[in-house]
Amino acid sequence: MNYQEKLIHGRLIKRYKRFLADVELDNGEKVTAHCTNSGSMKTALEEGAEVYLSPVRDPKRKTRYTWEMIKINGDWVGINTNIPNRLAYEAISKGNIEGLQGYEKVQAEVKYGDSRIDIFAENKTEKCFVEVKNVSMKDGDYALFPDAVTKRGTKHLNSLMQMKEEGMRAVMLYVIQRMDVEKFAPAWNIDETYAKTLLEATQKGVEVIPLQVKVTPEGVFEHKILEAVLHRPGA
Alpha helices, DSSP H only, in the chain? 83-94, 151-165, 192-203
3-state DSSP call for residue 7? coil
CA distance to 5, 96, 100, 179, 211, per residue, from 40 (Å): 28, 31, 30, 19, 21
| pLDDT score, position 77 | 97
Decide if pLDDT at 41 tops 70: yes
Q: What percent of the chain has pLDDT over 70?
A: 100
Decide if pLDDT at 51 tops 70: yes
Decide if pLDDT at 234 tops 80: no
CA distance linking residue 65 with residue 94, whole number of Å: 29
Q: What is the pLDDT of residues 61-96, one digit of tens each?
A: 899 999 999 999 899 999 999 999 999 999 999 999
Decide if pLDDT at 21 tops 90: yes
Alpha carbon 71 to its chain centroid, in Å, reads: 17
Q: Looking at residues 194-214, what average pLDDT do you find?
A: 98
Neighbours of 9 (CB within 10 A): 14
Q: Looking at residues 203-221, what average pLDDT do you find?
A: 98
Q: Quick one: CA torsion of 119, 121, 127, 129, rounded to 10 degrees?
A: -20
pTM of this structure: 0.94
CA distance linking residue 166 with residue 188, whole number of Å: 29
Decide if pLDDT at 55 tops 70: yes
Cis peptide before 210 (omega within 30 of 0): no
The answer to whether residues 69 and 215 touch, using CB atoms and an 8 Å cutoff, is: yes
Decide if pLDDT at 235 tops 80: no
CA distance linking residue 235 with residue 212, whole number of Å: 26
The answer to whether residues 10 and 23 touch, using CB atoms and an 8 Å cutoff, is: yes
Q: What is the pLDDT of residues 137-156, one digit of tens each?
A: 999 999 999 999 999 999 99
- Domain boundaries defined on the chain: 8-78, 83-228
Place 109 in a pLDDT band, splitting at 50, 70 and 90. Answer: very high
CATH architecture of 83-228: 3-Layer(aba) Sandwich (3.40)
Decide if pLDDT at 166 tops 70: yes
Q: Does domain 8-78 have CATH number 2.130.10.10?
A: no
Burial 171-186 (b: 16+ CB within 10 A, else e): bbbbbbbbbebebbbb
| pLDDT score, position 210 | 98
Q: Which residues face 58 on adjacent strands? A: none
